[in-house]
Amino acid sequence: MIKITLPDNSVKEFEQGATPMDVARSISEGLARNVISATFNGTKVETVSALEEDGKLVLHTWNDDEGKKAFWHSSSHVVAQALEELYPGIKLTIGPAIENGFYYDVDFGEHTISEKDFPAIEKKALEIARGKHEFKMRAVSKQEALSYYEDQQNEYKTELIENLEDGSITFCDHDTFTDLCRGGHIPNTGFIKAIKILNVAGAYWRGDENKPQLTRVYGISFPKQKELTEYLALLEEAKKRDHRKLGKELDLFTFSQKVGQGLPLWLPKGAALRERLEQFLKKAQKQAGYEMVVTPHIGQKELYVTSGHYAKYGEDSFQPIHTPKEDEEFLLKPMNCPHHCEIYNARPFSYRELPKRYAEFGTVYRYEQSGELHGLTRVRGFTQDDAHIFCTPDQLDQEFKEVIDLSLYVLNSLGFDNFTAQVSLRDPEQPDKYIGTIENWEKAERAIINAAKEKGLNYKIVEGEAAFYGPKLDFMVKDALGRQWQLGTIQVDYNLPERFDLTYKGSDNESHRPVMIHRAPFGSMERFVALLLEHTGGNFPLWLIPEQAIILPVSEKHEKYAEKVLNSLENHEIRALADHRNETVGKKIRDAEMNKIPFMLIVGEQEESESMISVRRHGGEDLGKISVKQFVDLVEKEISSTLKSFK
């Protein structure tokens, strides 16, 4: 007999060789009908895998993230089979599940594929799915695996296999299809009721632009047609909210091929928006005891070698800048933290002077591949709302909790109220990915978990997602469309203080190492503005939006009164403009709606004679005739309800 521990820590005994599906049936038939994959002792297994030893078993349904991964991974096999049948001679490479759906990278050879081919692929894939073919795993020797793909003349799969150890290679079979695969599938293809091919894109083999370009086929699948219909409706709404589209319509930012890919240019309205975001955070930071610093955009290569950033980003970043002096090299700054360490090192500190909190809106540079660039969310130059806290070990707990408070203040002020926290730890199986001692890592990880508990955060722990120098806490925010984004991060770091030999004099008159906290509530200004655009659909909070009101004179003879109203609003620090174009009021209203201006103030003969304004809210709500003073009060009240002071 073997002992199987379930997620609620209950233990059940089964005969050796029992399967996850046997365990599900022992709990209830209803659960067994809904189970689509399983994890045993942290490893993905099939629902029919024989369990030969004691261990922890997690059963996954469609409602679980792991269940969806197995569903979409299995669907990628089905679509790959459909592609092989429709396009003989193609070469398959890899086909993983992703956050929403899956993709398969394919060398189509002489074939071409476009959107007009999608319905035929979907039809063929659903035909295969309806066959209810079981996914069957089998182990193969390295030589067998190489021979199989050499016969197919598939150099991509043989390259993958050459990097695998003999004895660890498995194939997955279903119907007439075979694929190199590690496992983790749904019981059979019949669970797949709806498939949609979403788009195709170019992708370099192994992400290397010096290697062949493949065609990446993106798709998604569902256990019910209704869920696919709902998802496609969500996609349509997402297209309307695409920050690239809205950024262009609202004149916030642009890109120029002459300036360079991935290097955004902020237009006046966008620059003003950024400036307000900066001032908002600077005000809160001042309340929290931060001091602003400024560091250069470049640094000597040795600075980033010391910090470890050169090893992390050097090869994949912009090439070094060589000066007339022999062997002198500078790099574009990939991170602000090494510079802040040197600011701390500028003079000695006593424990009585800590913590020191240095903040900067510092622009950093990473050479992202052109195929991975995407609007403002993936760029080559971006500005981080970076801060680094240098504190004693005794101060760490309180400082970390205060950073959590600041991050929550930022999220709440900007309407991100649906979020969870993710505590990202190192991968204990891959210690070479990280710098520093195990002892320091364990201290840092305990500090983050304890702070998350004490602040009552709804958090989960994920191994393998830590930064290379320390564990972190990320805020995972759901936007208005239910999509999840990582927004804001806090990291504990014992390692950079070691590397930069940072010290302070303790109460014992001896030198000690400070602990370093990295923190960025926005993350990057570029990505934050992009997410805020998509979350709000361009309808920013009233305190932040570039233009809070527009005055619409009915005719030319009311322009003087419109200017008088404008001056009055500006005296009350309300951002407004007057539309003096020779257009009808109806046209002006439509344009103001398109530009998502919150309030339209219509002034005509009656309004001027009564010293009033007719107020219309974005979206069509008519607030009637009110005085300018009443409008000012309305705006101030609305702003104060969303923008509180940080305490």
Largest Cα–Cα distance in the chain? 93
Dist. CA 68–CA 354, nearest whole Å: 47
In the annotation, is 179 catalytic? no
In the annotation, is 366 catalytic? yes
Which among 105, 179, 385, 386 is annotated as catalytic?
386
Treating both helix axes as pointing N-terminal to C-terminal, what angle do 525-536 and 225-241 enclose, rounded to 10 degrees? Answer: 120
In the annotation, is 174 catalytic? no
Which among 172, 337, 341, 391 is annotated as catalytic?
337
Residue with tokens 């469309």: 481
- Residue 74, phi-psi category: left (phi > 0), alpha (psi -120 to 50), beta (remainder): alpha
SS3 265: strand
Give how far the C-alpha of residue 281 lies from the chain's centroid of Cα atoms, to the nearest Å: 21
- Tell me the residue type at 148: Y
Instruction: Using only the alpha carbons of the chain, give its radius of gyration.
Output: 29
- Residue closest to 441 by CA, chosen among 457, 452, 453, 430: 430
Give how far the C-alpha of residue 356 lies from the chain's centroid of Cα atoms, to the nearest Å: 30
- Residue closest to 127 by CA, chosen among 171, 92, 177: 177
- Residue closest to 127 by CA, chosen among 193, 62, 67, 80: 193
β-pairing, 321-322 with 329-332?
antiparallel
Which among 356, 366, 380, 535 is annotated as catalytic?
366
CA pseudo-torsion sign 234, 236, 242, 246: negative
Cβ atoms < 10 Å from Cβ of 475: 24
Dist. CA 322–CA 328, nearest whole Å: 6
> In the structure encoding, which two tokens stand for residue 27, read together?
């709990």
In the annotation, is 386 catalytic? yes
Residue with tokens 């592609």: 83
- Tell me the residue type at 487: L
In the annotation, is 472 catalytic? yes
Contacts of 429 (CB under 8 A, 6+ apart): none
Which among 309, 518, 527, 535 is annotated as catalytic?
518
Dist. CA 517–CA 583, nearest whole Å: 56
SS3 471: coil
In the annotation, is 505 catalytic? no
Query: What number of H helices and E strands is found in the chain?
Result: 20, 33
DSSP letter for each residue of 11-55? EEEE-TT--HHHHHHHH-HHHHHH--EEEETTEEE-TTPPP-S-E
In the annotation, is 518 catalytic? yes
Cα→Cα distances 577→135, 263, 545, 594, 612, Å: 64, 30, 13, 15, 17
Active site positions, annotated = 337, 366, 384, 386, 388, 472, 518
